[in-house]
Every structure is written in C-alpha cells, then in structure tokens.
Structure 1
Amino acid sequence: MGFSQILYSWTAIFPVIVLLYYFFRKKYTDQPVSSTLFWSEIMQETRVSPYLKHLQKNALLYLQLLALLLLMLALMNPYIYKSKIAGSQVVFIVDTSATMLAGKEQATFELHKQEMLSLINDLNGRPITVITTGHAPIAILQQETNVNAIEQAIQALQVTYETAQMPKALDVAQAFIGDASTSVYIFTDALDKMQLPIEKDTVQWIVKGAAKDLKNIAITRFAATTDGKAAMALVQLRNDTKEMQQATLTLYDADNKELVSEKVNIPSKEIVAKTFKDLPVTQTMTAKIDANDDYLVDNTQTALLQTTSAALVVDQSLHQLIQKGFQAIQPNVKMVPALQLADNKDAVIVTNQVALLGQMKKPIILFGRDDTEKFEVAGNISMTNDALFAFSNLKDVYVGALYEGFDSYKTIATVGEEPFIQLSPEGDIIVLADIEDTDWPLHPSFPLFLWSVEQQLLESSSSLGIFAPNEERVVALAQGEWSVYSQDDEFLSTVVNGILTAPIKPDTYVVRSTEEEKRFIVQLQAQERVIEEGTSYTIGALPDNGQEELSKSSIVPWILLLVLLLLVVEWEVQRRRGFTN
C-alpha cells in the first residue's frame, strides 16, 4: 500500500483542532441537591460499566475525529497493488471449448470474462491481441488500444463448443509476439506446462485455469439402432468424481416423450454401460442424466435411428472375427464365396478384393488388399475427427503390418506415418491391414468401429449423420438451395457449394430444400466430455527498468463511503441527545 499525495498529510492539524476544542469547551459546575436517595444506585451503575459511560459521553468526539482522519487519508490518495501487467504488449488466448461451461455458481468462461474486463483497466495504453481457440483459431482483436473496443469484444465472446486445440492457438500467438516483450494470458480450464513454448525470455506466460474441485458425470457413448419393428439403445456413463454417484438415466423419443427411466449407481472413476431393448421406433432418441455435477453439457446426447435398407454381404475368405463382428451387429448378414461377390450389386460388400472398388452400386468395405504385399510397421495410431471414430478410440491398438495406401484417397487414421484407414471419394472404407496382424479384436473399439461403419454405409438417405460443433463437411445433396434449421424451425445458415457448416451447439438439426429434408446431429467430441483438474500458474518474468510494474488501485471511494456512514451515525447520536444540547 502507498500514498500518491503525501503532501496532504498536513491536514492532520484538523483532528488536533477538534480535540483542543473538546479540551476547552464549557464545563458544568457542581450543584448541591437536597436528596441523595438515588445516588447509591447511580454510582453502582457507573462502577459496573465505566467504559460504556465514557463512550456514551464522548461518542461525538470519537466519531468526528475518525471522520476527519479518514478525510485526511482520502486527500493523500492511498492505493493498493491490485494486479501486474508487464511488457510492451498483451495477448489474451481465450479457450472457447465446451468444458469452459463447467462451474459451480458460475461457469469458468464467465469468470474468465470478468477477469479479462478487470485486466483491461491496467493496460495503460499497451496494445492487446485477443485470440480464440478452435479448429481454426481467430484473432478477434489485433494490437488494439481502444479500451471501449476491447471491452465490447470481450463482452461478445461466446463458447463455440469446439475442442480447444491449444497448440494451434499458441502458434497464432507466436506470430503476434515476435521479439517484443509480451505478457500472454491464457484463459482455459487446464493446460500442461509442457505445451508452452517457453524458449523466449521476452514472454511471460500467465495461465488462468478452472476450479480444482469440479464434479462431472458424463454420457460418454450413446448409440441406438432399429430393425424397423423395435429399437435398441446402448448408453455408457462415466463418473469422474472420487465418490460413488447416483444418476437418473432417461431416454426420450423425437417428440420429447419419455421412453424409459432408470436410476444408475456409478462407482468412482468407473464406466457403467446400460442396454435397453424393445423400445418404440422413433426418428431420433435422446439420452439424459440427472446427476449432481458441475458440467451439464455432457449430460445429454442424441442419436439418429435408421432402418437399414441395403443388404450386407461378407466375403467368406475374410477372418472369422470380421464375419462374427458384423453378424453381431446386423443379423441379416450374408456370407458369400469370393467369386460370387460381384453378383451382389445392390449390397454393401465386405472384402479384400481391390478390383471391386468402383464396380458396385454401393460403397464397399475393404479389410486388407489382394493386389499387393504388406510390410511391417511400428508406431502409434493417430486419428482425425471423423464420424467413424465417434465411439471408438484406436490409440491403444497394436498394428504389426500394413498394405500400401491409395494415393487419391483420404487418410483418416495412420500408424506412425503410414496410412491405416482411408476413405474413397465414392464413400468406400478401406482398412489397410489384415485383422490377424493386429490385436484390434481384443479392444472394445473393434465392434464399435464395425457398428459405425455399418451405420454410415447402410443408413437411409433421410440422414446426414453426426457432425462436430462448427465442423465443415462436404455433403451429398441434390442440386438446389439447402438451408439449415433448428428443431424450433429457426433458420441458421445455408449450404454453399455442397459444404455444410454445422451449428456450434449440440442438438438435432434439419437441412431442408423446397422438396426434401434431412436430419443431422451436432455432437460433442469425446475430449469435451472430460473435465480436467484446473491449473493456474505463471512462467517467466518481464522486468521494466529492473523492476516489475505493478498496477495501482485507489481505495478513496471506499474511504468516502465510510465517512458518509460515520456522518449518518453522528447525526443519529446527536438526535438522541437532542439538538438543543
């Protein structure tokens, strides 16, 4: 704490004058009275509470002295060190992912916005750059010095539900930092120190994280399918807390009518799976949990139900684990000899015959290749954010050998640097490995991947599938104008050149033309269903002429408020004594 107007300390003479006035004020003389009947009682009360009597007698003196001392203090303009911003410029990196909505009384995102607004008062003319995270980080402000513009931009910030992808945002920030001394504030929930590029001495990193005691119970998986007569649903719940939690799981149909409800006990740090059969057929099905947690966004998930119309044919020469896997998912799977596959023009075929690519009416599923030799590989599996991996994580799968990939096909999973799973422009799905060269069937992701493949290739044309928030994707739509609408029939956007940009909020949406409509779902990515323990820390220091710069916050308004309160109390004391006295 300090004083910026120490010269006004001479005003201390005013309290001294008031004190002298009380010393020389008029004194009353003793007056003898004719009766002492009540003296003993009065003297007894005085002896019992002499300090209270003294305070009552001199209350006005103390109140006036205190008010004058506070006014003198206000003239000296005391201040406290409130916050610290060093460097010649400031960069804000704002995490706008869905997990920022977690919080107790208030979401982490709103708390961070309040902190940003308080920090801009300490910029003192420094330029500020504000960067939001996401698949494509955006610099919404660049070297801005106008405080009003900065405040408006911060107030307008919104959660986009996209995965943060913080390394991309850090790369964008590096372009603005350059060689200038910079304070970089990262407003997120949790960030590992190892992700920060701390090789520069001219950058101070200040990470503002979420609270450390947030609770989360999440729906991690939800799938629903139907044979046209009845529906079946699979729900996985995870408890990230340190205690057993109870949640009420409820399934709803497309009209928000309750289908089934059940209380579920979830052990600490465990995953519980629930299966529901013989449910009514509906276009969409929504799973919701009612639980005592601090993150509500992952408590709801929606799935599209489609009746499969195309047949599924599996090559008899493929490994039995592939045959059994598809049979468990699709009861009507047919096993056909390799030489007869070409006769099933209207079916979706599972084979390793490369010659069938582009020859069938429906996309095919290729496991391995029969036209080339495989080679040994080593390395971890990396995946893109494709819908095929919405329910299956392949990171722990071992792959010992691969076939050569197709140059013109899109790679959605790799082993090291080599393609592992590809998509053709016609929609074919190619797995460039023999199943016996992997331990994939030992993992839960194998049947879930087969289910995703079956859903993507066999679902009817009334659905566009599952999208991530704000995802851009080329969709197969007929010629014409198509628009995106919410469930409440609110217009949101248009499809331009066959590219659909999904809305940011998870929900069910409709793409509509003048003659047709298709549904699709925007769903949280798996990373946004996990709450990490909040982390806040500072790395590095920026000296200003050998000393760090501290911002000063005046406390004069609080002093004046206290003086006003003292004047009110003084008036009340005077009123009780009587103004004539």
Structure 2
Amino acid sequence: MSFSQIIFSWTAIIPVIVLLYYFFRKKYTDQTVSSTLFWSEIMQETRVSPYLKHLQKNALLYLQLLALLLLVLALMNPYIKKSTIVGAQTIFIVDTSATMLAGKGTSTFDTHKAEMLTLMDELNGRPVTLITTGATPKAILQQETNSKDIKKAIEDLQVTYETAEINKALDVAQAFVGDTPTSIYVFTDTLDKKQLPMEKDSVKWLVRGAAKDLTNIAITRFAATTDGQTAMALVQLHNDTKKEQKVTLTLHDATNHELVADSVIVPPQETMTKTYKDLPFDKTITAHIDAKDDYAMDNKQTVLLQTTTAKLVIDQSLHQLIQKGFQAINSNLKIVPSLQIADNKDATIITQQAALLEKMEKPLVLFGRDDTEKVTASGTVTITNDALFAFSDLKDIYVSAIYPGFTDYETIASIGEQPFIQRSPKGDIVVLADIADTDWPLHPSFPLFLWSVEQQLSESTASLGIFSPNEQRVVALTQEDWSVYSQQDEFLSSVANGVLTAPQQPGVYTVRSANEEKQLIVQLQAQERMIAQGTSYTLGNISDNGKEEVSKASFVPWLIIIIVVLLVLEWEVQRRRGFTN
C-alpha cells in the first residue's frame, strides 16, 4: 500500500490533541453514598468485568480516536497498484474452443467474459478490437469506442467448439497494431510464450489462462465397424488425473437403448482401450462415461455405423484417362487385367464388361459396352436432378457415338433422345460411351463426376459422414433444397451451392430435402478432448515519457463509509449518556 498525499500526515496531531484533552479533563473522587448501597448486588456483574466497565466508560474516546485516525489516513489517500490497460488501444483475443467450457463450477469462458467486462472500467475511451479464434478468426469489433456496444459484444460471445488455432488470431491482431502502443489481452486456456510475436516494442501481451488444478477423464477415441449384421466398437479412455478413476462406460443405440454397461478402472495419467464385439447393428452408437471431472464435453461421443468402405478395382483395358482420374481420387485403386476383374467380388469394379452387371452382387461402374455396337449420337447433353451431377454440369460436352441403353435402367443423362448415363435398380452406374468418342475429359466436370461416382458407390448413401464443428465441406447432394435439422427437428441452416456448414455443437443431425434425408455427425476434434494446465502471464511493457502508466485503486471511499458509521456510533453513545453531560 502507498500514499499519494503523504504531506497530510501532519494531521496525525489532531487525535493526539483529543487524547491529551481526555488526560487533563476534570476528574472526580469516588464517594460512597448510603442511599446507593442497595445497588451493590446488582452491579456485581460489572465489577467482575473491569474491561467491559472500562470500555463503557471510555467508548466515546475510542470512537473519536478511531474516526480521527481514519480521517488522517483518508487525507493521505492510501491506494494499491492494480493491473491496468495501457497504450492507445486495446485488443481482446478470445478463445472460443470447446476446452474453454472446462472449469470448477464456473467455466473458463465465463470467467474470462467477467474479467473483460471488469476491464471496461479502465478503458477511458480507448478503442477496442475484439477477435475470436477458430479456423477463420473473426473481428467482432474493430476500433470500437462505444462502451455499450463493447459490453453487448462481450456478453454475446459464445463457445463455437472449433479448435482455437490461436496463431491465426494472433496474426489478425498484429494487423490492427501498426505502430500504435497496444495492450493485447489473450483469453485462452493455455498458450506457450514462444507463440507470441514479440517483434514490436509497442505491444504489451497479457495472457489469461485457465485454472491450474482442473481434472479430466476423456473418451479420446471411439470407432465402430459393422458387417451389416453385428457391430464391433473400440473405446479409448484417458485419465488425466493423478488418482485412479472408476467410471461406468455405457454404449447406446440410436433409440437410447443400452447395449453395454461396463465398470472401468483407469490408472492415473494413463490411456486404456476397451473393445466390444457382437453388438446389435444400428445406425449410430453413442459412448458415454459418468466421470466426475471438470470438463464434460469429452465424456460422450457418437459414431455412424457403415459397412466397410469398398475398394476400387479398375479394368486394365479401360482408357488411361479413366484410370488416371480414379487414381487421383482414390490412392488405393487397383488396376487389374480384364480376365481377373471378376475375381474381386468384395470391391467396387470399374469396367466395360457388360456381363458383370448380372454376375456381381455389388454395384459397379460401366464405361462403354462390349456386348453391342455403338451408334452415332446427335443432340445436346441434358441431365436430371441427380446427386451425381451436383458439381458436374455436362451441357457443353461433345459425344460422337454412344451405345444403346438398357431398357430397365433409369436414364439420368441423355443426348437428344438417346440415353447417355444410366443407373440400374441395383445401383450400377453405366456411361454409354467410350472416352475416345467424347471430349468430356477436357472439361472440369469429368473429374468431378468421377469423384461423385466414387463417393456414391464407396460410402453409405444414408449418411454424409463426420464433420468437425462449423466445418464447411462440399457434399454430393441432388440439386434440391436441402436443410440441416437438429435431433429435435429444429431447422438450423440450409445447404447452399452444395456447400454444407456443419452445426457448431457436437451431436447427430439430419440433412433433409423434400424426398430424401441423410445423417451427419458433428464431433470434437482430437485437440478438444484434452485440457492442458492453465497459464497466465504478462510480457512486454509500454512506457509513456519514460514512465509506465499505473492504475491506483484508492481506499478513500471505504474509509469515508467507516468514518460515517463511527460518527453515528458516537452520536448514539452520547445520546445514551445524555448530551448535558
């Protein structure tokens, strides 16, 4: 504690004068009076409590001395130094990742929001820039000076569950600094000092981290596979505490029916894996642990159950452009001689052998036909509203000759009145032309079509897969109006131009059109399933004319309140004794 008005210390003589007044005031001699002798028994309690009697006798003196001493202290203006915002502007970088929800009672995120609101009292008109983290950092405020707008922006902040990628946010903040003296507050859970750009002397970094004693038990990995009849699940648990933890691990299906309930003991600071076989097949399986830790978001995880992704096998006799195109899409592609292509019954086959359409159980891709002659083609290419053409427009393609179509197949693209691309009831995709008879490979739609074919035949068409929070991804959907809905059937967003933006909160969601629906899962990324020890520190220094700016928290308002209370007590003591005395 320091004093800014030490010159007023001379006023300490005032309570000394009062004390001397009490020393030299008139004193009286105790004299026994017979009429008061009967009070001796009643006053016995006072006599056995001399300290209480002394206090009662001298209460006014003590109250006056204490009030005067506090008044002297108030005149000297005592204060303590406290952290302050320095520089000509302030930048808040706010981590909105899922791990910010960790905390004991109050999350780290809410604690940081409260601190930001407190710091507003020290802004003194300085402009504020507010930046949130994520794959694409956002400047919520830019050089804002209106305190109401700043307060509202801080109160409206929410966790987005994305991985922080703090370096991107630091780069954005640097763009606002320039040569202006700046205080940059980084509100995160943990940040290594080496990540801070320290090239500029005009920046003071103030990092506010999470608490250091947070504990966590997490599902770090959850995977499930199925053969279409039964399922097998693998669950990996990590105990980040220093004590052995006993948790109950449960697995549930899509209807929340319990499949497994297992009591698991996880050793301290270790990872363990549990495997469960012969589980009933369902669309989804959810794993959950009842851990009593400081971070609940990593105690639950859901996976989509799909049959194993098929391998791609291509006929060696097909055109090189088809082979190269599929190789660019799927690095596990196998090129097999024509005589051996039928032996790959567990793979998705790409060939021109029409006889395999009836022999193979799994859908295949047919480029051209080897069982009939082709005919001259005329007219323009037209397509239907099919998922295969979500990103491949075939309107400018030239085709000189095509093969006759299959009578019982659905035509999804035509040349004039003739079928060009068909789909069988089993799901086979047939392109009724040789690549040598068309300029299709010269158009961007060709590799996009191959990608759509691979996506449709190699993955389950009932789901769109796993997304991370707020991830934007191109998806193969028919050219209809698609919307994303929550499990409570609440509309969340629309799919625009084939680009789906995943919801921010982990869970299972439905993507729906007028005629079809698909599921997707939003999962936390691996970095968001572990919490690190919190770090808080300050780096850098901003000076003004060689002197660092200091904030002083004065005690004077509190001292005045206490003095007023003492004066009221003095008045009450005097009233009880009688003002004439």
1:508 aligns with 2:508: yes
Q: Note the C-alpha offset of 1:75.
A: 6.1
Encode CA deviations 1:280-313: one digit per residue, 9 max, x unaligned.
Answer: 33222111111132111111101112356x8657
8 Å Cα contact 1:313-1:347 kept in structure 2: no
Q: Note the C-alpha offset of 1:221.
A: 1.0
Q: Note the C-alpha offset of 1:267.
A: 1.8
Residue 498 of structure 1 aligns to which amino acid in structure 2? G
Encode CA deviations 1:533-556: one digit per residue, 9 max, x unaligned.
Answer: 211222221111111101122334
Q: Note the C-alpha offset of 1:520.
A: 0.6
1:536 aligns with 2:527: no
* Corresponding position of 1:444: none
The 2-side partners of 1:45 and 1:347 are apart by 103
1:251 aligns with 2:251: yes
Distance 1:108 1:49, change over 3 A: same
TM-score of the two chains, using structure 1 as the length reference: 0.71
Equivalent runs, 1:130-209 vs 2, <5 Å: 130-209=130-209
Match of 1:426 among 447, 450, 456: 450
The 2-side partners of 1:363 and 1:205 are apart by 59
Aligned to 1:93, the other structure's residue is in SS state strand
1:496 aligns with 2:520: no
Q: Note the C-alpha offset of 1:248.
A: 1.3
Residue 502 of structure 2 aligns to which amino acid in structure 1? A
Encode CA deviations 1:172-195: one digit per residue, 9 max, x unaligned.
Answer: 111101111212111111111221
Encode CA deviations 1:378-404: one digit per residue, 9 max, x unaligned.
Answer: xxxxxxxxxxxxxxxxxxxxxxxxxxx
RMSD between superposed Cα atoms in Å: 4.2
Equivalent runs, 1:326-405 vs 2, <5 Å: 338-340=337-339, 342-343=341-342, 348-349=347-348
Distance 1:120 1:347, change over 3 A: same
* Corresponding position of 1:327: none
Deviates more, 1:151-160 or 1:568-577: 568-577
* Corresponding position of 1:398: none
* Corresponding position of 2:470: 470
* Corresponding position of 1:550: 550
Aligned to 1:79, the other structure's residue is in SS state strand
8 Å Cα contact 1:234-1:276 kept in structure 2: yes
* Corresponding position of 1:230: 230
8 Å Cα contact 1:467-1:520 kept in structure 2: yes
Where structure 1 has 5 or more consecutive residues not aligned to the other structure, the ranges are: 318-334, 354-359, 365-407, 410-422, 431-452
Encode CA deviations 1:227-261: one digit per residue, 9 max, x unaligned.
Answer: 33322211111112233222211112222232211
Where structure 2 has 5 or more consecutive residues not aligned to the other structure, the ranges are: 317-333, 352-361, 367-442
8 Å Cα contact 2:341-2:349 kept in structure 1: no
Residue 90 of structure 1 aligns to which amino acid in structure 2? T
Percent sequence identity is 64
The 2-side partners of 1:340 and 1:247 are apart by 56
8 Å Cα contact 2:234-2:274 kept in structure 1: yes
8 Å Cα contact 1:219-1:298 kept in structure 2: yes
* Corresponding position of 1:418: none
Q: Note the C-alpha offset of 1:81.
A: 1.8
The 1-side partners of 2:292 and 2:162 are apart by 25
8 Å Cα contact 2:135-2:164 kept in structure 1: yes
The 1-side partners of 2:473 and 2:166 are apart by 22
Equivalent runs, 1:22-101 vs 2, <5 Å: 30-34=30-34, 50-70=50-70, 73-74=73-74, 78-101=78-101
Aligned to 2:470, the other structure's residue is in SS state coil
The 1-side partners of 2:147 and 2:9 are apart by 35
The 1-side partners of 2:227 and 2:567 are apart by 81
TM-score of the two chains, using structure 2 as the length reference: 0.71
Q: How many residue pairs align between the two structures?
A: 478
8 Å Cα contact 1:363-1:427 kept in structure 2: no
The 1-side partners of 2:487 and 2:45 are apart by 82
Q: Note the C-alpha offset of 1:66.
A: 2.3
Aligned to 1:158, the other structure's residue is in SS state coil
Aligned to 2:111, the other structure's residue is in SS state helix
Encode CA deviations 1:95-129: one digit per residue, 9 max, x unaligned.
Answer: 11111111112111111111112222112222121
The 2-side partners of 1:205 and 1:429 are apart by 52
Q: Note the C-alpha offset of 1:55.
A: 2.0
Q: Note the C-alpha offset of 1:85.
A: 2.4
* Corresponding position of 1:405: none
8 Å Cα contact 1:86-1:544 kept in structure 2: no
Aligned to 1:99, the other structure's residue is in SS state helix
Encode CA deviations 1:121-172: one digit per residue, 9 max, x unaligned.
Answer: 1122221211111000011111112222211111111111111111111111
Encode CA deviations 1:309-330: one digit per residue, 9 max, x unaligned.
Answer: x86577999xxxxxxxxxxxxx
* Corresponding position of 2:358: none
Equivalent runs, 1:286-325 vs 2, <5 Å: 286-307=286-307, 312=311
* Corresponding position of 2:479: 479
Encode CA deviations 1:396-444: one digit per residue, 9 max, x unaligned.
Answer: xxxxxxxxxxxx99xxxxxxxxxxxxx97734999xxxxxxxxxxxxxx
Aligned to 1:58, the other structure's residue is in SS state helix
8 Å Cα contact 1:347-1:362 kept in structure 2: no
Aligned to 1:57, the other structure's residue is in SS state helix
Distance 1:186 1:480, change over 3 A: same
* Corresponding position of 1:274: 274
Distance 1:279 1:572, change over 3 A: farther
The 1-side partners of 2:460 and 2:451 are apart by 14
8 Å Cα contact 1:96-1:134 kept in structure 2: yes
Aligned to 1:210, the other structure's residue is in SS state coil
Distance 1:303 1:45, change over 3 A: same
